[in-house]
Amino acid sequence: MALASLKSRMMGAVPLGNGKGKVIVAGMPKSGTTAIASLLASAAGVQVCSDPFYQLDKKGVDFRRALFSSELSLERLWREHRDVFRGTVVKDPNFPLFLGELKHLLPEAGFVFIVREPLDNIRSILNRLEVPGDPEKGVCHLENARGAWNLLLKGISPDMPGKNYLEKIAWRWRVSAEHYLNNREGVRLIRYEDFREEKVGQIKILAGDLGFQRLKDISSLVDVQFQPKGKQPSSFEEFFGKENLEQIETIVGPLRETFGYEK
């Protein structure tokens, strides 16, 4: 353990480089980041690094509180655990909150931000965790979520406002969107809905924009289910309840139309 710690500190002193050739993919959980990052890497014939924060959790690295309280910089975390962040395409659902820092850290990297219609995004997260859309019915279901999912529902690391898990996830969507808007220069935006309409075409355009050439055919991969598919409700009002739906709209409303999502 002491040897591993010493090696980590030594690696932390080695510069990361300017990020040239790397691609950083950021987006909310269940917004399509896994599928888009994986398909992009397959098309370009490069390695993908998926969810390095989760990988650090699995290794028993205690970093989230220090990172999200700014006691630990993302640069130092990346340097000390660069084996976990290894890959040409690197994606993590926490990256939206670090877009500014990432652009400073890896100025020559390509950046992609993926957004999904907020009501559908929140619904998909809760379906994935088997948690009801109405928080009054969902308290006993919170045990279904473990690790980072549990932090997301509780709105901690990163801390989010809100009186229940529904509002906290809505705020996570809004804060992620705000970070993109504040750092959008040089960041390629993909709407999940547009990707779903034409997966091969969207990935081909994205890969070309990022400078990848001689792309591989990914038509046989586009229908692979990268994460469990959630059950679609007949309406958002049915899933969330009228009052909850109105509260979500209050939180995400100021930004949803910015991305072309009508109320």
The residue-averaged pLDDT of 194-211 equals 96
Q: Report the pLDDT value the prediction gives residue 16, as an integer from 0 to 100.
A: 75
User: How do residues 73-95 score in pLDDT, each as one tens digit?
Assistant: 999 999 999 999 999 999 999 99
Q: Is residue 18 part of a domain?
A: yes
Number of domains in the chain: 1
CATH number, domain at 15? 3.40.50
The HSE-up count of residue 69 (CA atoms within 13 Å, CB side) is 6
Q: Which domain holds residue 63?
A: 8-121+183-213+220-246
Q: Is residue 166 part of a domain?
A: no
CA-based nearest residue to 112, from 47, 30, 209, 226: 209
Q: Which SS3 state, helix, strand or coil, does residue 92 take? A: strand
The residue-averaged pLDDT of 165-170 equals 97
Q: Is residue 261 part of a domain?
A: no
Q: Is residue 259 part of a domain?
A: no
Checking if the pLDDT of 171 tops 50, the result is yes
Q: Is residue 189 part of a domain?
A: yes
Backbone angles phi, psi at 114, to 5 degrees: -110, 130
Q: Report the pLDDT value the prediction gives residue 145, as an integer from 0 to 100.
A: 79
Q: Positive or negative CA dihedral for 146, 149, 150, 156?
A: positive
Q: Is residue 24 part of a domain?
A: yes
Q: How far apart are CA 11 and CA 184, in angstroms?
A: 31
pTM of the model: 0.91
Q: Is residue 103 part of a domain?
A: yes
User: How do residues 93-114 score in pLDDT, each as one tens digit?
Assistant: 999 999 999 999 999 999 999 9
Q: Report the pLDDT value the prediction gives residue 25, as an integer from 0 to 100.
A: 98
The HSE-up count of residue 224 (CA atoms within 13 Å, CB side) is 13
Q: Is residue 176 part of a domain?
A: no
The amino acid at 201: G
User: How do residues 105-143 score in pLDDT, each as one tens digit?
Assistant: 999 999 999 999 999 999 999 999 999 999 988 666 677
User: How do residues 3-38 score in pLDDT, each as one tens digit?
Assistant: 455 455 545 556 678 999 999 999 999 999 999 999
